[in-house]
Structure 1
């Protein structure tokens, strides 16, 4: 069982996935900081110092912080859009790399053209027999 687990855990795909999760978590922290520390304060200034996160509703002495939930939803959409842009950028670069360069037409001199014609004529004679 241990050998099977080692084979599974050391496969390239599993290691790639582990690296992707770690990088994704770090990227998520960067984007979260961007949203919380830069974008939302600027949005707050634009809308007159209003903070969505501070919105509450008092129900029988219990404060329901629906503003914090709304802020989380806004953060999610900003983070999802940022990840979309990064993936789109990587995909664009990959497409450029995968597209083969157009092959230049092969330039033949007269001797090569004559040899190709002779070859074609000989192959026709062989198949005609």
Structure 2
């Protein structure tokens, strides 16, 4: 039973998943720092303040903190934009640069059709 557990832990997929998780957490911290320290000051420059958490209204002793929601929404959009423009777009451009025109991926169904035709021709 211990051998099976050791084999499970040392299997390639779980180690790769653990590494990906750790790198994902570190990357998330990096993106949050970028947004909070570089993007939100630009928002503060344009709008006047980077944090709207103080904006509230009260109905029957219930306090609605709509300012915190606005701050979170701006942070989300800024984070998504940072990931898209600084990670996704450059990676797509890099991938397109290094992929040769003949290396395009053939869909599974098309590949099966080609294999069937090759098998029929071999007869």
The TM-score range, normalised by the shorter chain, is: 0.5 to 0.7
* Partner residue, 1:34: 34
Q: CA deviation at 1:71?
A: 1.8
Quickly say closer, same or farther: Cα 1:70–1:43, change in 2 above 3 A: same
Q: Does 1:47 align with 2:47?
A: yes
Q: How many pairs are equivalent?
A: 101
CA distance in 1, matches of 2:98, 2:50: 47
Quickly say closer, same or farther: Cα 1:84–1:3, change in 2 above 3 A: farther
Structure 2 residue ranges without an equivalent (≥5): 103-123
Structure 1 residue ranges without an equivalent (≥5): 102-129
Q: How does 1:62-73 map to 2 (within 5 A)?
A: 62-73=62-73
* Partner residue, 1:21: 21
CA distance in 1, matches of 2:45, 2:82: 22
Q: TM-score, normalised by structure 2?
A: 0.61
* Partner residue, 1:92: 93
Aligned-residue CA RMSD in angstroms? Answer: 2.7
Q: Does structure 2 conserve the Cα–Cα contact (< 8 Å) formed by 1:28 and 1:79?
A: no
Q: CA deviation at 1:100?
A: 7.3
Question: Which stretch shifts more, 13-22 or 72-81?
Answer: 72-81
Quickly say closer, same or farther: Cα 1:89–1:5, change in 2 above 3 A: farther
Quickly say closer, same or farther: Cα 1:88–1:28, change in 2 above 3 A: same
Q: CA deviation at 1:29?
A: 1.3
